[in-house]
Structure 1
Amino acid sequence: MEMRVEVTSRETMKPSSPTPHGLKTFNLCLLDQMTRMYYASVVFFYPSDPTRDLPVKIDHISCTLKKSLAEALTRFYPLSGRLSKNNLYIDCNDAGVLYVEARVDCSLSEFAKKPEIRLLDKFLPLHGVSTGPEEEAFLFGIQVNVLSCGGIVIGTSSSHKIMDATTFIAFFRTWTAIATGRPDQAMQADCMAASTLFPSSHTMPNNAGLWHGNPFTKPGKSSLRRFVFDSAALSRLKLDARSEFVPNPTRIEALTGFIWKHAIRASRMLSGMQPPSAVVQSMNLRHRVEPPLPEQSIGNIAWRAFATYENTRPEVELRDLVESVRKSLAEINVDHVKKIRGDGAFEGISKWLEEAGRIYTKMRQECYTFVSWYRMGFYDVDFGWGRPGWVSVQNFGDDAFKNVVIMMDTPSGNGIEALIALEEQEMSILEQDQEFLASAKPQLSMVLQGRSKL
C-alpha cells in the first residue's frame, strides 16, 4: 500500500505561562543520563463520524489540541526545555515542543485492511535517535494527521531521555483532562523524585552502554510481526504455565514465558544447538519504593530484571520459564531498591551493569527484551471525541532491533497484542510453529473499536 502524507503546518508550541525562574532546572537522574536521546513513539487512531462537517470539525479540533497542549506544558514544563551540554539537567527555558499537522491521502478503513508497520513512521513528527546537537533537540513532538475520511491519527514522539511510559501516560492524562474541561483531574508533574532516587553524576559507570541493551546483536535482517492473543488463549496459557512455585501466573507472565519458549525453539531449530537463554524485563519502580512515588514523576524511574534459562534438554517447559520470570520480578522489591537508591545509586547501578555484562557475555545473542504496556491506559487517551479505535507503538523493525517484544492491550481490552522482532529466518520458523499459532493470531487487518464523536 502506498500512502502520501503532506505536512500542512509545522510550529513550536510553548507553555501557556512562562516557567518560574526557580523551576528553570530539571536535574536528570543517573538512569536518564545513561539513556540515549532517542524518540519512543506511539500512534493513536481515531475513526470518524461521516455525518459531521469535516472542515469545521478539523479547525475546532486543532484549536482545542493546541490550547490544551500549551496549558498541559505548564504542568509538565521540562518537556518544553532542552538538554544541557553536560548531560546533567534539562534547561526549562520554554523553548517548546514540535507540533505538526498533516493531510493523508487514504481513509482509515483502507489503512485498516492491511496496517503495514512500516507506514506508521509517516504519522510521526520525530524519528529514532536525535540527529544534530542534542542540546537543540525537541524533547516531545506531536503530529496530527487528518485522513481523507475525516478520521484522525495522532503520532507522538517522546524523548526517552526524560520520559518513560509511565511519564508519557501521566502527561496525556493531564492533557486530555484539560482538553475535555476537567482541569481538576490534571496532574502537576513531580520533577524531584527521579533525581532524588538516582542522583545524577559527573562521571558515568563503567559499561554504561549496557543500559541500552545487549551488545551482541544477531546478524541478518530483522522481521517485525504483530500477533494477537485473545482472552481464551490467555486463559489457556495461564493454566499451562501453572506450577508449584507459580500457582496463579498473571497474563503477562504466562505470555512472556510462552513467547520466550517459542523464540528459543525457533533459534535452536535454526542453529542446531541448545544454548542458554535470558529475558530482560523493564519494570516501573514507582510502586516498589517506600514511600511510593506518584505516577506523574518525570524521568526513567524503571529497572530491568533478568530471567535466565540454562537447561539444555531438548524440550523447553513453559512452567520453568514462567518460574524464572516470576522469580526475577519478585527480587526487585522495596528492600532491593533501598540498596540502589540515594547515596547507593552509583554503586548499585554499577553492580547491575557488571551483572548485565556477565549475562550478555554468557548468553550472547540469546537474550530477549520484553516490555509490557498492558493496562497502562493508552486506550483512555480521549480528547473529547472518543477513545482511540487502535493504538500502536512505532515501527522498530530495523536490523539493529532483534529479540524485542512489546505487549499492550487489544482495542477491546480483552486480549493482548504482541509486537515481536526476530531475525527473519527465526521469524519464519515462528510463523509456521503450529503450537504457537494455536494461541497467537497474526494481525493481518485492524478492527477499530468504539464509537467516535469526530
Structure 2
Amino acid sequence: MRELEIEIISREYIKPESPTPNDFKTFKISLLDQLLPHLYVVPLVYFFKNDGKSDISKRRELLKQSLSKTLVHFYPLAGKVKDNLHVDCNDDGMYYVEARVNAQLSDFLGHPQQELIHGLLPFHPSSTELFTKTYVAMVQVNIFECGGIAIGIYSSHKVMDGQSTVTFMNAWAATASGSSEEIHPSFISSSIFHPNPKLPNATSILIPPPQSEQSKSATRRFVFDASALNVLKNNANCAESNVTNPSRVTAAMGLIWQCAIATSQARFGFRKPSILTFVVNLRSRNSPPLPPYSMGNIFWVTYAKCLVNSDLKLPSMVRRVRNGIDKLDNSFLEDIKGKDGSLVNVMKHLKELEEVHTGNLDTEYLSLSSICNGGIYNADFGWGKPIWTCIGSAGIDALGLPNLVVFMDTRSGDGIEAWVTLKENDMAIFEKIPELLNFATLDPSPLEISLSA
C-alpha cells in the first residue's frame, strides 16, 4: 500500500433537526459522571464496505441528514460540557469532519497500523488541540477510494461511557437505514445517582497506579474465536474453586491476568503481588435493571488481588474476578444512590479504591475494561454492518494506565478481541506466552476475523 494520505474535505457542525426545548437546555450529569474526566479516552472507529447499491454522494448526505434527526433525541451530544455538573445543550451541533483516504479499504484492513487509525479521528489522540475541546461528541467520516467508509467517533468521558457511545451509533445507524427498531435513549442517570456540587472537581474513579519507571508502551490485539473461548470456559469451570459456568468474558479476563503475572515473573525472576482493576456495567445490576439504552457513565471500578503465594490456576483467577464483581451488589448500589448520605458513601468506596492503587511499588497493576455484549456490530446504516470496529487511540495513554486491556466483541458476536497495552519490555514477553497463544491469535487481519470469528 502506498503512503497513506488523509485529506480533509470539510468541517462543519450538524445541528439537531428541531431545536431542543428550553426546559432541556441545561443537562444535569450524574454523580457517577462527576467522577470521570472530560477526556476523549476510548474513541471508536467503524469500518463499512461499499455495498455498491448507492453512490458515495448520496451516502454522505444520508449520514448528515440522519445524524441531524438522531440528535433530536440525543440532544446533549449537540452541546458542550459546561462544568463538572452540566452540559450546555445549546444546539451548536456536533463537530463533523469529512475526509478522503487515498487507499482501498481492503488494503488498509489487511494490516491496519495504529498510527494510521489515529488519522481517522477528528483530532489525533495525542494532539494538544484535542484537550482544549468541550464538545460532548465529534465525528469524522472517512471515504476510501473503493467507496468504503470508516466512521471515527470521540465522546467525552464526562458524559458518556463506552456503552453510551455504542447506543448512539446504533441509533444513528437505525435512523439512516430506516429501521423499524427504535432506539430511544434514557437520560435518567442523574435522577438515580444524584449529582452533588460538594464533590471536589478533581475526584476521579480512574486512579492511576504508582509507577516506578516511565517507558514506552506497546499495544497488541489478541483475538479469541468462539471455539477457543468454549475450551477456555470449560478449563475455568471447577466446582472445587466455586466456579461454574463462567462467561467468555470472565474466562478471558482470568487468562489475560494469569499471563500478565507470568510476564512479570519472567522479567524479574520472582512473583510480585498483582491487582486487577476492572470496570463493571451497573445497568443490569440495578434493581430494577435500568433501560438498556441508558446514557451516561453507569459503571463502577472494582478489583481482584492475587498474592505471591496464591494459586495461579485458571479457575482460581476467574473466581477472584467473580468475587470482585460480586462486591457490586444491591447493597453497594443503594449506598451510592439517592441524595441522603450518598456522597459520604461514594467517598468511602473511592477511598478503598485509592488504597488499592497507592503506596506499593512492588505490586503489579493491570486495568481492564470491556464493551462486550453491547451491540457494537449492530450499526447498519443501510449498507451492511461494520466489517470491523476498533479502538481509535491504541498506544496513547491518556489516563496514566500503562497496563491496560480493552475487550471488544468480534464481528460474529461470540468472540473477543482483546486490545492489550503493556510496557514494551513486558509486551515482548507477554505476546510469546504459549498458554495465551493456544487460545488467541496475535494481530490477525480484521478481514480474517470477519470470516472466522
TM-score by length of 2: 0.91
**SS in structure 2 at match of 1:195:** helix
Question: Residue 241 of structure 1 corresponds to which residue in structure 2?
Answer: 236
Query: C-alpha deviations, 1:321-365, integer Å up to 9, x for none?
Result: 110101111221223201111123312221121111111125545
The SS at the match of 2:243 is: coil
After TM superposition, give the deviation of residue 173 of structure 1 in Å. 2.5
The answer (yes or no) to whether the contact 2:223–2:444 under 8 Å persists in 1 is no
Give the 3-state SS of the residue equivalent to 2:165 in structure 1.
helix
Give yes or no for the alignment of 1:286 onto 2:283: yes
Report how far residue 269 of structure 1 moved. Answer: 1.4
| Paired AA for residue 9 in structure 2 | T
Residue identity (%) = 38
TM-score, L = length of structure 1: 0.91
Q: Please tell me the residue identity of whatever aligns with 1:429.
A: I
The equivalent of 2:21 in structure 1 is 20
Distance in 2, Cα, partners of 1:376 & 1:21: 32
d(CA) in 2 for partners of 1:287, 1:216? 32
341-350 or 418-427, which moves further after superposition? 341-350
The yes-or-no answer on 1:93 pairing with 2:93 is no
Where does residue 432 of structure 2 map in the other structure? 432
Q: Report the number of matched residues.
A: 442
Structure 1 stretches of 5 or more lacking a match?
none
Q: Is the 8 A contact 2:43 2:155 kept in 1?
A: yes
Letter in 1 for 2:231: R
Does residue 255 in structure 1 map to residue 252 in structure 2?
yes
Query: Hey, what does 1:335 align to over in structure 2?
Result: 331
Mean CA deviation greater in 395-404 or 38-47: 395-404
Match runs of 1:156-305 below 5 Å: 156-182=153-179, 185-191=181-187, 193-204=188-199, 208-209=203-204, 211-217=205-211, 219-244=214-239, 245-305=242-302
- 3-state DSSP of counterpart to 1:295: coil
In the TM superposition, what whole-angstrom CA distance separates every residue of 1:377-406 from its partner, at most 9, and x where no partner exists? 111100000011111112331364421111
User: SS of 1:10's equivalent?
Assistant: strand
In the alignment, the residues of structure 2 paired with residue 449 and residue 426 of structure 1 have an alpha-carbon distance, to the nearest angstrom, of 26
Partner letter of residue 245 of structure 2? N
* Structure 2 match to 1:68: 66
Q: Aligned-pair distance for 1:415?
A: 1.8
Q: Does 1:411 align with 2:411?
A: yes
The aligned counterpart of 2:7 is 6
Give SS of 2:447's match.
coil
Query: What is residue 312 of structure 2 aligned with on the other side?
Result: 316
Q: Secondary structure at the match of 2:43?
A: strand
Assess if the C-alpha contact under 8 Å between 2:49 and 2:384 holds in 1: no
CA displacement 1:203-236 (0-9 Å, x = unmatched):
3259724x12324245211110001112222122
Shift of 1:127: 4.5
How far is the alpha carbon of 1:431 from its aligned partner?
A: 1.8
Answer yes or no: is the 8 Å Cα contact 1:401–1:421 preserved in 2.
no
* Contact map agreement 1:226 1:420 (CA 8 A) in 2: yes
Partner of 2:321: 325
- Assess if the C-alpha contact under 8 Å between 1:275 and 1:312 holds in 2: no
Find the aligned partners of 1:325 and 1:157 in 2 and give their Cα distance. 30
Question: Which has the larger displacement, 287-296 or 131-140?
Answer: 131-140
| 369-378 or 165-174, which deviates more | 165-174
**Partner residue, 2:374:** 376
5+ residue gaps, structure 2, are none
Q: Report the residue type matching 1:70 in the other structure.
A: S
Query: Paired residue for 1:144?
Result: 141
Q: 1:273 to 1:449 in 2, by over 3 A?
A: closer
Residues 287-343 of structure 1: CA deviation (Å, up to 9, x unaligned): 222222212322111111111111436x72211111010111122122320111112
Distance 1:36 1:80 in 2: 19
Equivalent residues of 1:81, 1:96 under 8 A apart: yes
| Residue 78 of structure 1: aligned partner | 76
**What's 2:441 paired with?**
441
Contact 1:205 1:350 in 2 (8 A): no
Paired residue type of 2:43: S
- Tell me the distance in 1 between the aligned counterparts of 2:295 and 2:383: 28
Secondary structure of the residue aligned to 2:71 is helix
Give the SS at the match of 1:342: coil
- Distance, in Å, in 2 between the alignment partners of 1:195 and 1:273 is 47
8 Å CA contact retained: 2:250, 2:321: yes
Deviation digits for residues 76-120 of structure 1 (CA, Å, limit 9, x no counterpart): 101111122x42211111111111111101111211221112211
Q: Which moved more, 1:290-299 or 1:264-273?
A: 290-299
Q: Secondary structure at the match of 1:378?
A: coil
Matched, 1:117 2:111: no
Would the aligned equivalents of 2:85 and 2:195 in 1 still touch at CA under 8 Å? Answer: yes
Q: Secondary structure at the match of 2:44?
A: strand
Distance 2:123 2:374 in 1: 23
1:61 partner amino acid: R
Q: Distance in 2 between matches of 1:348 and 1:17?
A: 41
Opposite residue 347 of structure 1, the aligned amino acid is: V
| Equivalent position SS for 1:261 | helix
* SS of residue in 1 equivalent to 2:445: coil
Q: Is the 8 A contact 1:222 1:401 kept in 2?
A: no
